[in-house]
Amino acid sequence: MSDTKFKPVEEQLAYLKKGAAEIVPEADLRAKLENSLKTGKPLRAYLGVDPTAPDIHLGHTVVLRKLKHFQDLGHTAIFLIGDFSAMIGDPTGQSETRPPLTREQVDVNAQTYLAQVFKLLDPQKTEVRYNSEWLDKLSSYDVVRLCGHYRLARMLEREDFRSRLENNQPISVHELLYPLLTAYDAVVLQSDVEIGATEQKFNLLVHRDIQREYGVPSEVALTMPILVGLDGQRKMSKSLGNYIGITESPTDIFGKLMSIRDELMWAYYDLVTDRTPEEIAGLKNDIASGAAHPMDVKMRLAEEVIAGFHGEEAARKSAENFQRVFRDRQAPAEAEIQRISRGPAKKLAALLAELKLAPSKTEAGRLIEQGGVEIDGVRVDDARKDIDLSKPAEFLLRAGKKKFLRVIVE
């Protein structure tokens, strides 16, 4: 019996539904919450992650944040590390069988992943499990029995497998085992709710079926949308270069978030903050009525995201720095310093190229002529302007909107 005082069911539902793509079935989630309120027993909600890569980007945190929402409401948050299943490899979205990871690779990734996960989840209140605890112990008989609970025809209905069959691409037998073995996780954990991305829906539905076959009440499958990346079109992905890594510097995170289109920020508010639907609606109304400027609301989004991963102070400094550089067009508080030796005068375009503030003298000249270069806050339009480097000096160069360099001649 838990001492947690749960909020009213409707209030919990509204918070848990925020940003969710689908809840299968929603009526079951309501019933489980009502029973939890009546008995005082928290729900067991879990997220399973295969540590196939060491770094987490903002897109990964969408499902993680939903697990946090269950934790916020007093329910048990289980973070399951698929150290066994990662060595098989989830076939979801794969057009071919991928090479298996070694145990050593998985273990290294798992430790790095866990350190990042606790930037969101409360480590004192999170149940961390590894599915090797039980999957390593399954006998051949246990695996055959598990396979006997699911039909091959249903497995091949899966879009990934069907597409590969139609295109004469190979499917390895061990890939068919993946959703069954991860379903056994749900059996062992006796979970009430499992969270996953929309592309994981097939796996989650298999998990519900297998729980029932083993006499365990079926969990609720809660799927979350894929976060659109910085390009505003494709899903956030490191390989596409449209991602925000949660271990990136606060300044970089702030700048990247400010680069997204205004209309995209509402999906980010929904999926990567803890704002309630009512609060988000209030922000939209503020912009519609003219009470707030879209840039200010987007800056608030960036601050909230950074505060979650780097703390309030880092978020505040990033906001101040952005204000100084991009809105007030002043130098950042800590502009990079470049020391150069005294010598003969140089043309401004040549100096910019030498300091790597432009890719070439030609590009530097074009930037200067377009009014994109300042020395100590004064715009310079002449690419052939001589810069005196014969005596000790210090000046601030700005090239474009973002590049600042404090040059010290010594």
Pairing verdict, β 220-224 and 193-197: parallel
Pairing verdict, β 373-375 and 346-347: unpaired
Question: What is the average per-residue pLDDT within 364-382?
Answer: 82
Whether the bond between 344 and the residue before it is cis, its omega within 30 degrees of 0, is no
Please write the tens of the pLDDT for every residue from 181-204: 999 999 999 999 999 999 999 999
User: Are 263 and 210 part of one and the same domain?
Assistant: no
User: Are 256 and 345 part of one and the same domain?
Assistant: no
User: Are 283 and 348 part of one and the same domain?
Assistant: no
In the predicted structure, residue 266 carries a pLDDT above the cut 60 = yes
With respect to residue 389, please indicate whether it lies within any of the assigned structural domains.
Answer: yes
- CATH of residue 342: 3.10.290.10
pTM over 0.85: no
- CATH of residue 77: 3.40.50.620
The range of the structural domain enclosing residue 15 comes to 9-224
pLDDT number for residue 3: 59
In the predicted structure, residue 211 carries a pLDDT above the cut 90 = yes
In the predicted structure, residue 61 carries a pLDDT above the cut 90 = yes
Most confident of 232-246, 272-286, 391-405: 272-286
d(CA 333, CA 324): 8
Average pLDDT, the chain: 90
368 and 357 Cβ atoms separated by less than 8 Å: no
Question: Which of 293, 327, 361 is the endpoint of a domain?
Answer: 327
User: Are 323 and 363 part of one and the same domain?
Assistant: no
- CATH of residue 293: 1.10.240.10
pLDDT number for residue 1: 46
With respect to residue 243, please indicate whether it lies within any of the assigned structural domains.
Answer: no
User: Are 154 and 302 part of one and the same domain?
Assistant: no
In the predicted structure, residue 25 carries a pLDDT above the cut 50 = yes
Question: Which of 298, 327, 356 is the endpoint of a domain?
Answer: 327
Amino acid found at 305: V
With respect to residue 340, please indicate whether it lies within any of the assigned structural domains.
Answer: yes
User: Are 63 and 206 part of one and the same domain?
Assistant: yes
pLDDT number for residue 394: 76
d(CA 34, CA 178): 33
| Alpha helix segments (H runs only) across 264-347 | 265-272, 277-289, 294-310, 312-322
Q: Kindly write down the DSSP assignment for every residue of 339-356, as one continuous string.
A: EE---S-EEHHHHHHHTT
User: Are 143 and 288 part of one and the same domain?
Assistant: no
With respect to residue 398, please indicate whether it lies within any of the assigned structural domains.
Answer: yes
**Percent above pLDDT 90 for the chain:** 60
Lowest mean pLDDT among 33-37, 54-58, 321-325, 403-407: 321-325
With respect to residue 245, please indicate whether it lies within any of the assigned structural domains.
Answer: no
User: Are 385 and 264 part of one and the same domain?
Assistant: no
User: Are 308 and 349 part of one and the same domain?
Assistant: no
User: Are 181 and 316 part of one and the same domain?
Assistant: no
With respect to residue 377, please indicate whether it lies within any of the assigned structural domains.
Answer: yes
| Beta bridge partners of residue 23, listed in sequence order | 222
With respect to residue 282, please indicate whether it lies within any of the assigned structural domains.
Answer: yes
User: Are 197 and 98 part of one and the same domain?
Assistant: yes
Please write the tens of the pLDDT for every residue from 127-144: 999 999 999 999 999 999
Question: Which of 327, 357, 378 is the endpoint of a domain?
Answer: 327
User: Are 129 and 111 part of one and the same domain?
Assistant: yes
Phi, psi of 49 (to 5 degrees): -130, 130
Chain centroid to CA 353 = 36
With respect to residue 237, please indicate whether it lies within any of the assigned structural domains.
Answer: no
Number of domain units in the chain: 3
397 and 409 Cβ atoms separated by less than 8 Å: no
In the predicted structure, residue 89 carries a pLDDT above the cut 90 = no
CA dihedral sign of residues 116, 121, 123, 129: negative
pLDDT number for residue 329: 58
